[in-house]
Amino acid sequence: MLGFFKKKKKLVLKSPVVGKSIDITEVPDEVFSTKMVGDGIALIPSEGKLYSPVDGKIVNVFPTKHAIGMETQGGIEILIHIGIDTVGMKGEGFTSHIEENQKVNAGDLLMTFDIDLIEEKAQSSIIPVVITNMEKVKSMQCYKEEVDINSTIMEVEIS
């Protein structure tokens, strides 16, 4: 009888930046707005510091430092993409504070970046935060509001 009352596995993502959260469909890039790489939320940063939204492991720091891949203990894969069309900046304006395979806690500083330079040289400073393995997600709730690094931006029920 107890097997019917399986405990829900829940993942809470905190905002990786200070700023404002918006719907993923508002991102000015079809790859994100049409959810080709996964579903999530996007952020408009007001300062150039990116923090870890969860406890997890850094799986990938792109050579151009514009994107980070993370994995949670529960196996949820998260892509954090700093800006739109920032790959062409070739790392200019980005400083990484982490390395691949490093374990991080929610709130740890991952990257610093120059918002003004991104706005000048790329399409946008919007930061999509996307779960790339949605097959592991039973349900997801996103919160659109003014945010700081203590704000919950997403709650995910893991299947």
Give the CATH number for residue 130: 2.70.70.10
Task: Give the gyration radius of the chain's Cα atoms.
Answer: 15
- Residue range of the domain that includes 91: 8-158
Q: How high is the pLDDT of residue 5?
A: 53
Q: What is the pLDDT of residues 106-133, one digit of tens each?
A: 999 999 999 999 999 999 999 999 999 9
Would you give the end-to-end CA distance of the chain in angstroms? 20
Query: Is residue 2, in this structure, part of any structural domain at all?
Result: no
Query: Is residue 51, in this structure, part of any structural domain at all?
Result: yes
Return mean pLDDT, the chain: 95
The single residue of 61, 81, 89, 129 carrying the catalytic annotation is 81
Angle, CA of 73, 150 and 97, to the nearest 5°: 65
Query: What's the pTM value of the predicted model, to 2 decimals?
Result: 0.94
Q: What percent of the chain has pLDDT over 70?
A: 95
* Number of folded domains that form the chain: 1
Query: Is residue 141, in this structure, part of any structural domain at all?
Result: yes
Q: 34: Cβ–Cβ under 8 A, 6 or more apart, which residues?
A: 25
Query: Is residue 106, in this structure, part of any structural domain at all?
Result: yes
Q: Decide if pLDDT at 2 tops 60.
A: no
Task: Tell me, yes or no, if 66 is annotated catalytic.
Answer: no
Query: Is residue 3, in this structure, part of any structural domain at all?
Result: no
